[in-house]
A and B are shown apart, each in its own frame.
Chain A
């Protein structure tokens, strides 16, 4: 598998991706093999269906949202390997003495923020929050309870009083949280 994928991946392409994202060549090859294994149609791009075919994502309450987040920069409904890598590079652990273009704290937070902010207006509205709550908590809970949780959440974060959570407010609420660590995974070599 590794051989095959590296054959398909041009050397200069690896170098470029490495340059852009900071992944090591072996990580890129590994992820490329993952990419191709997800790509059932063998057309070099991934569609939403390809993602949703991952069984674990199917049980993830936010599976749809996560997949959706991969397609924010895509023009059509498919993403190529480079876009795929760009999204994943946000989750590289932070290196202290290196430039962190994609995986800065802000970028990580931005990604999490986008999970809520469906309409891309840079604000989490009450409805958007409620929708996510619904997904996470499940349907068995009463509407009022969820609504009061959502209200409480907004009220807590809302400093400028527009009843929405802006990105700045979002970051402020997570000030104490070690986002750099929480939103990083160690990509296998």
Chain B
């Protein structure tokens, strides 16, 4: 007690200095009396600590002085008023003791955070050693600073602070996010390692140390009970250290759960052994009766089972409470923390294992709580828990480092060496023996390498350190030696083993974990397998089989427990739904965020075609040139924010009537006002964040967020429109039946070019069932209908109705889409086309199957533009009459080869040469709509729609044409390249470029595919002509 009072006196002196008060001795006397009484009031164990342990925590230290200070202030004020001394009012005062406790705590947390940042900012440190090492080092440095500034009494890591405040968050986090299934699958092994292993370690280490002590090697008398107490402390693997190290090395999950589960559960053993031996020591070796040993064994059962039971009870309570917390949404996550903490404290109250209790509490409540709480609470819970755990862990290591610097070390070389030796040796032996036994029963045999990692990963940490500090010096005279030894052991394991275990894992090729989200299939099939295996175990008569027990538990869980504990319990397999909604959410997010690269994600098979390559290329690059320079030069809206480009020639010429435009505008207005809920005045309330309805289970509503994202995008886009008279919506969908409709609209509106509107509709093959839906929105230009067949993950359709995005899974294979104009006739059964087929590949005559006889390769035109009746035009001016005549009539006999029909050798009809270019283009386009990619077919009648296989010939041809027509520099029309080297075609195009030209690059050279994008790039930069890529082209209207 004397040391305490001296210290408090010192404090007061400093306090007086700070407060600039006169140090009257009477006052100090009085204050000291006060503080002494305060000390009497402090809890027994603190008192006990401060008596026995010279390193008193700053918290208690300052707390007493703080309280004293306040009283003393009161006193001094009284004195002041009495004496009327020359005290003036101070402009500014420094009152550190007033804030000292929270200040010091915050400072530690700040240092911890900074240390963590420093660790992650420094690039190479992470490779050399785990975070925990760095933290200890930083802590030690701080400890040194404190030591040499004379504040060495600030030993921060006291057992109380550690056990009551810093350990629980870590354990709760561990328990709550424990992979339950993995844990229970390996329960037997974990229990064996935790219980038998720890007892084995404690006893062998204790007896060995005692045995060595008998030789007098230590120079200190070590009775058996002392060494046993010491060994029970040092034998336990530390969950904090294990977590810190194993989370960084990513070993496979079985190995992880074995080591980690052991480190959690062995706490029960440690606590019991520790209390047992402590009790024995206090009783004295002579007074121990056999009954005491029996009591020790019994107390182990009580502590472990009692802890687990307590945890389960609190967990169930938490789950039950979470049924109702949706009424107080804001504090929903709090219940988990508070109840978890209470379970820990309750266990500690009864001297049960708090760690076991908290672990089980977290594991029990997790599944039910997750089902009950809202999505936001879930996120909050997760992050808060992780944050607390991480902070605690960091601070623990810092404290550990800081605590090592004190002057009470009692270094005993042999004791230290022997301890480390026995710890390593007996742990290895223990693991070997137990694994050998376990491997008889385990399906997943633990191999030698894993055994080694298990033995090697037995890290000691702060738990042992905190425990050894609690040891009473009264009964154990060699306490300071033990403290020093424990510190050395902790340093040894954390530094030496922790630093080398990572490289060892890599060197020994330990199977590492590849944790990924389960796919729907995996989730479903594993559940099926579970049921199946349970059934097989039933049939084979295994009544204690894992699967059998789990199935039985699931059954009763669904039948009795879940109805009690969860709000929405009619779903038997919440996990399946969870996976489903999670996957859907990710898909939707991806779709929204990365729609510019979709389609190019998974297509790297040999079936890739140029057109699909370019489609993905243009998609991924569209935002770059849709936002500015290239397009704006052509008077097109530069703000067209669409991430979707029209890749289908057929849709480009869509130029709706004024009625359509008006409709669209009206739709804009409507959708603007209808998508966004009317803004209501929210009264501010602390209880409620703006979330009027409780979140439904399984988080189906998250899709609403996506809708909002889409909506935002749209409104942005629309804003862009309003600045421009020219509206640019793009519709790209070449393959739907609606394209015919478009063609009609188009030709009706060919003269409405003054206010040209192109609509973007990005519809890669959609199923038949969706087409009708899609069609409903076909003139709502601003809607985006996406359906991507290229990426199987994106099988969802955003239908822009007011119900938000509905995830409609597709019903029909994408192949059928190419046939869907003939859906009536074609059965869906015999589709074998590869997914990556573009429309060109399926409809272009020269790519068709020669022996294709049914209607699936060529479609007769079903609708005809009005000019077909105009004989004169038909004969003389229509470029399409040629193939219409030929293909339609020949379709049932033999598919004509395009080169025989449209080959270059075919004479050009002279009378169509001077045809107006505009009309020609228009008709090409309208034709496209009807017959897919026929736009690529050369129309030999006009200026030049060339299919070029040989550049030289083409040049000659063009020259001839120029001569004939008297045109100036180049021909208008389309250039289609086949089997032409990109370089050549590029030269050709640049030579013959003209504003109206279209360049159709259908280069079918696999090895040169990669060059095409660059080629396109250079073209786009240099000039503004159309690049018509088979079935895909970029905005012919912009020219």
A interface residue numbers (CB < 8 A to B) = 30-31, 34, 37-38, 51, 54, 56-57, 59-63, 65-67, 70, 88, 91, 93, 111-112, 115-116, 132-133, 136-138, 140-141, 145, 147-159, 161-163, 165, 170, 173-174, 176-177, 179, 181-188
Contacts and interface: CB of A to CB of B under 8 A. Distances in A.
B809 A148 contact: yes
B539 interface: yes
Contacts of A186: 441, 443
A63 B535 contact: yes
Nearest to A184: B443
B533 A183 contact: yes
A56 B552 CA distance: 8
B531 A140 contact: no
11 contacts: A38-B539, A56-B534, A56-B552, A60-B534, A61-B572, A93-B443, A136-B572, A156-B520, A173-B521, A185-B536, A186-B441
Interface of A, helix, strand, loop or mixed by DSSP: helix
Given A147-B809, A177-B522, A183-B529, A88 B540 contact: yes
Nearest to B546: A185
B576 A158 contact: no
B286 interface: no
Interface of B is mostly: helix
A156 B520 CA distance: 7
A82 to B, nearest CB: 15
B516 interface: yes
B638 to A, nearest CB: 38
A146 B574 CA distance: 12
A185 B547 contact: yes
A106 to B, nearest CB: 15
Given A136-B572, A151-B809, A182-B533, A177 B525 contact: yes
Interface string B541-585: 110010110011001001000000000001111001100100110
Contacts of B443: 93, 181, 184-186
A57 B535 contact: yes
A162 B580 contact: no
B542 A61 contact: no
Contact of A161 (B516, B533, B570, B835): B835
Contact of B540 (A65, A181, A187): A187
Contacts of B1006: none
A116 B525 CA distance: 10
B522 A137 contact: no
A48 to B, nearest CB: 12
Interface of B: 441, 443-444, 514, 516, 519-522, 524-529, 531-542, 545, 547-548, 551-552, 555, 558, 570-573, 576-577, 580, 583-584, 792-793, 795, 807-815, 831, 835
Contacts of A137: 571-573, 576-577
A136 B576 contact: yes
Contacts of B533: 91, 182-183, 185
A65 B980 CA distance: 60
Nearest to A186: B443
Contacts of B536: 66, 88, 91, 185
Contacts of B542: 185, 187-188
Nearest to B829: A162
A185 B533 CA distance: 8
A56 B795 contact: no
A162 B577 contact: no
A141 B568 CA distance: 11
A156 B897 CA distance: 38
B356 to A, nearest CB: 28
Contacts of B529: 112, 179, 182-183
6 pairs of A and B residues whose beta carbons are closest in the complex: A151-B809, A140-B570, A173-B521, A66-B535, A138-B572, A56-B538
B528 A185 contact: no
Contact of A153 (B521, B555, B814): B521
Given A91-B536, A153-B520, A177-B526, A162 B813 contact: yes
Nearest to A51: B539
Contacts of B555: 59
B521 A174 contact: yes
B795 A176 contact: no
B792 A60 contact: no
Contacts of B813: 161-163
Nearest to A153: B520
Given A63-B535, A138-B570, A185-B545, A155 B576 contact: no
A162 B547 contact: no
Given A51-B539, A136-B573, A176 B516 contact: yes
Contacts of A59: 551-552, 555
